[in-house]
Amino acid sequence: MNAAVALDVRPDKIAAGSDSISMCFSKGLGAPVGSVIVGSKAFIARCTRYRKMYGGGMRQAGILAAAARHALKHHVERLAEDHANAKLLAEGLAQSKHINFPNGMPQTNLVFFECSHPKVTLAQLLAGLKERGILVGQTYSTLARAVTHLNVSRADIEETVNAAHAILKS
């Protein structure tokens, strides 16, 4: 859905070339849990078999289906806010000469960045953010991954940028 919103195309156009797709309803779409997988009848039968083999299954999942339905009806268009927040985060972080974006600026809600500070490692930057209640993941040893979603506000982005700059100044 993030790609569909960012590209301003219908989701079925993005999925058209795929044999199967999976979509999560949590975080950006705001449902408490849940994902859906779509594919051929044979593919779904295999997925169902594996789910049962691994002990997966839910009874009376209607309340979760209702949450997913609400998310699809009310939260898809607001994904553009997440993209704007990701761009704001990247632009704010880019004001530091020690933050680099090896994959370029974000196009959706994912912000990948490196820290090239001579005295503050990426791990130290992320630990400093965590101490302030700001969670940013680390992929590989040199790349951070920040995700904006329904529960991340513009004020949160500003707080994150200010905290990062404060840590990098120390």
Phi, psi of 100 (to 5 degrees): -125, 155
By CB neighbour count within 10 A (0-12 exposed, 13-18 middle, 19+ buried), where does 149 fall? middle
Q: What is the pLDDT of residues 1-57, one digit of tens each?
A: 999 999 999 999 999 999 999 999 987 899 988 888 999 999 999 999 998 899 887
Q: What is the pLDDT of residues 49-95, one digit of tens each?
A: 998 899 887 777 888 899 999 999 999 999 999 999 999 999 999 99
- Listed in sequence order, the residues at least 6 apart from 130 whose beta carbon sits closer than 8 Å to its beta carbon are 136
Say how far residue 26 (Cα) sits from the centre of its chain. Answer: 10
The pTM for the full model equals: 0.88
Calculate the alpha carbon distances from 56 to 50, 61, 69 in Å: 8, 13, 21
Domains plus CATH for the chain? Answer: 2-74 (no CATH), 79-169 (3.90.1150.10)
Q: What is the pLDDT of residues 108-162, one digit of tens each?
A: 999 999 999 999 999 999 999 999 999 999 987 789 999 999 999 999 999 999 9
